[in-house]
Amino acid sequence: MTSPESATEPVPSDRPAVLPSMVGGAILVAGLYCGRELVVPLVLAALLAFVLAPACRLLERARLPHAVAVVLVVLLTFAFIGGLGMIVGHQAADLAGDLPSYQSTIMGKWHALGQKYGFLAKLTEQAPTASKPAEGGTGQQASLPFGLGEVSGLTLARNVAQPLLGPLESFGIVLVFTIFILLSSDDLRDRLVRLVGRHDLHRTILVMNDAAYRLSRYFLFQLGLNAGFGTLIGLTLWLAGLPNPLLWGILAALMRFVPYLGVFIALAPPLLLAVAVVPGWSLALIVLAVFIMSETIMGQVIEPLIYGHSTGLSPLAVIVATAFWALLWGPIGLLIATPLTVCLVVIGRHVEALAFLDIMLGDRAPLEPSETFYQRALEGKALSLVPMARQQIAASSLTDYFDAVALPGLALAQDDLVSDTLAFERLEAIHAQIEAVLAQLASQKADVRSESQAVPSAEWKQSNAVVCIPGRGQLDDLAAAMAVQALCAAGFGARVEPNLVLGTSSNTDLAATRLCCLSVLEEGSSVSGIRYFVRRMQKRMPEATIVVGLWHSGRDSLLLAALREEGGSEHLVLSIGELIAFARALSAKASKLRPSERQEMVASSS
């Protein structure tokens, strides 16, 4: 039994490693926040460099010098961005000037709703009023609910334009940074290679180039799709007669960079404007339908066709990253949260020191399938694996699933058992869980891969043709059950017999067994124990070919090397796939022999 003192020994040794990481992370976050005036333009420039790099390479192929191509592309891009900014400012000013003319329409709809719904009438009465409506449309302007009438046109223009003009404060810095990043792209890549992969220069350069190409392609596609979305929204709203359609199209394109909520944020202003422009509700319904249909087509049809269903980020990571960057850098952080997080995930996948970024933010499974198999069995939730197992079996085969997932999962449990970290009571629960999974998979149809192989001969389809006997390990019987299930799916007659049958003579049909497999996991097995079982099998089933299934054993296994060194008469296989291939070879060989040759083969084997 472990003493309380020994149980707490690892904790102090972990503190020196955890505490500096936490302090370093806090300093990094504080630096990003305090230095946002410099860091934000640098990040924007880096993201723009990824987007503009393909255009620069295209001009370089047209024989333009590198520096000329970079300056030309950047200047044209920023001229386009500046033009959009002027359009947004002009549209916002027009909207601010037209807002007072929409007050009568808003008040008419508000009072109509107040008469229909009593609680709105009470809110209208409680709302502060700036003036009373004048008869015949002259005199003082009608009051808006919640004090909207007190807001001047200049104030509204400032409130509308300020969030859009905020990023332009660092326009010049971003321009300079973008030019220098594109001009020094090769030098920056070489410096990064020296930092993270100088020991394997060729592979690291290929990985970095591939990652940069994929990021550029992804960002360019995302920018193009969002621009197309904004263009579609703007054109549709213009045809519907909504004022300032360019403003709403640009807003829709920008807000689509914000995951999940961006489209709703972009929908709110034009929808409210549609309510205020015309007396009826038809325009508002058109605006709502346009946004819903456009987002559905873009998100469910076009995006999956272009770059798949996923950005490589887990949904929780997208939400957390959006909230984090928005809290850190405000509206700019909200817009660049997803592209920036994608960059971090790609870096984590290619830089070993930053692999935790891929684990925490990426959408790839955090555990290997075999680890998930063992974890679910350990938690008593192994049956939740059945749907995923059936999908994998349908895509490949039952044999592949056992070899790639189930047997490695059993090996993990066996390792914990040998190291005394797995209690016996928990072992019984794991055993029952895996048995339940095998029972569910027993109804699976014939092995997809096996159906394309040669069909075993009639004598190999008998129930005693292949017998699997588990070793002494507490989980060897489960491995034997998997082997039998895969053999049956391949068309062989197979069954599991307990190892106690080797010490009795009650089961007389074992003498006709053609292939006997000793099923053992490497951990918990020994050369002497395996040799003991092999001798008993040879004595009990003299006509059978003996195979030792040393499941999930590496090619450099010491146990495997010791068995091969002794050079016994038995055959060694390391996977169920090898066992089935060996059984097929024996079946094919036996079917080609004449009866007299079969008798000679049986006599020589005995």
- Residue 370's pLDDT band (boundaries 50, 70, 90)? confident
Answer whether residue 112 shows pLDDT above 80: no
Question: Cα separation of 492 and 466, whole Å?
Answer: 7
Highest mean predicted confidence (pLDDT) among 208-222, 301-315, 362-376: 362-376
Question: Cα separation of 12 and 27, whole Å?
Answer: 23
The pLDDT, as a whole number, for residue 18 is 63
How many Cβ atoms from other residues are within 10 Å of residue 211's Cβ?
Answer: 16
The pLDDT, as a whole number, for residue 311 is 59
Amino acid residing at 20? P
The 3-state DSSP class for residue 364 equals coil
Question: Cα separation of 159 and 464, whole Å?
Answer: 84
List all residues 6 or more positions away from 489 whose beta carbon is below 8 Å from its beta carbon.
Answer: 397, 398, 399, 444, 445, 446, 447, 450
- Residue 135's pLDDT band (boundaries 50, 70, 90)? very low
| Environment class of 341 (CB within 10 Å of its CB; exposed 0-12, middle 13-18, buried 19+) | buried
Residues of the chain with CATH 3.40.50.280: 373-605
- 317: Cα separation from own chain's centroid: 10
The pLDDT, as a whole number, for residue 90 is 83
Higher pLDDT, 520 or 509: 520
The pLDDT, as a whole number, for residue 133 is 46
Kindly state the average pLDDT of the residues 162-170.
58
- Residue 129's pLDDT band (boundaries 50, 70, 90)? very low
CATH number assigned to the domain covering 373-605: 3.40.50.280
Distant-in-sequence contacts of 149-156, Cβ < 8 A, 24+ apart: 149/103, 153/96, 153/97, 153/99, 153/100, 154/96, 156/95, 156/96, 156/99
The pLDDT, as a whole number, for residue 36 is 83
Answer whether residue 142 shows pLDDT above 50: no
The pLDDT, as a whole number, for residue 235 is 93
**Nearest residue to 149 via CA among 181, 118, 107, 109:** 107
Kindly state the average pLDDT of the residues 511-517.
84
The pLDDT, as a whole number, for residue 92 is 82
List all residues 6 or more positions away from 169 whose beta carbon is below 8 Å from its beta carbon.
Answer: none
* Tokens standing for residue 106: 């808003």
Sign of dihedral through CA atoms 231, 235, 236, 237? positive
- Residue 280's pLDDT band (boundaries 50, 70, 90)? confident
Is residue 145 within 8 A of residue 104, CB to CB? The reply is no
Kindly state the average pLDDT of the residues 303-311.
63
Kindly state the average pLDDT of the residues 28-49.
86
State the chain's mean pLDDT as an integer: 77
Length of the chain: 606
Kindly state the average pLDDT of the residues 439-467.
68
The pLDDT, as a whole number, for residue 163 is 58
Sign of dihedral through CA atoms 548, 550, 556, 559? negative
The pLDDT, as a whole number, for residue 87 is 86
| Environment class of 221 (CB within 10 Å of its CB; exposed 0-12, middle 13-18, buried 19+) | middle
- Residue 165's pLDDT band (boundaries 50, 70, 90)? low
The pLDDT, as a whole number, for residue 233 is 92
Lowest mean pLDDT segment, chosen from 113-127, 283-297, 339-353, 510-524 = 113-127
- Residue 321's pLDDT band (boundaries 50, 70, 90)? confident
Lowest mean pLDDT segment, chosen from 241-255, 266-280, 377-391, 555-569 = 555-569
Is residue 576 within 8 A of residue 486, CB to CB? The reply is yes
Lowest mean pLDDT segment, chosen from 207-216, 254-263, 361-370 = 207-216
Question: Cα separation of 396 and 447, whole Å?
Answer: 9
Question: Cα separation of 472 and 483, whole Å?
Answer: 17
pTM above 0.85, yes or no: no
- Reported as type and span, the H/E element at residue 516 is strand 515-521
Answer whether residue 212 shows pLDDT above 90: no
The pLDDT, as a whole number, for residue 152 is 56
How many Cβ atoms from other residues are within 10 Å of residue 500's Cβ?
Answer: 8
Answer whether residue 123 shows pLDDT above 80: no
Q: Which residue's entry shows tokens 């040393």?
A: 550
Is residue 510 within 8 A of residue 497, CB to CB? The reply is yes
* Three-state secondary structure string covering 410-468: HHHHHHHHHCCCCCHHHHHHHHHHHHHHHHHHCCCCCCHHHHCCCCCCHHHHCCCCEEE
Instruction: Say what percent of the chain tops pLDDT 90.
Output: 7
The pLDDT, as a whole number, for residue 72 is 93
The 3-state DSSP class for residue 194 equals helix
The pLDDT, as a whole number, for residue 526 is 81
Kindly state the average pLDDT of the residues 35-49.
86
How many Cβ atoms from other residues are within 10 Å of residue 424's Cβ?
Answer: 8
Is residue 60 within 8 A of residue 132, CB to CB? The reply is no
For 556, phi then psi, to 5°, come to -100, 20
The pLDDT, as a whole number, for residue 448 is 42
Question: Cα separation of 73 and 198, whole Å?
Answer: 32
The pLDDT, as a whole number, for residue 463 is 78
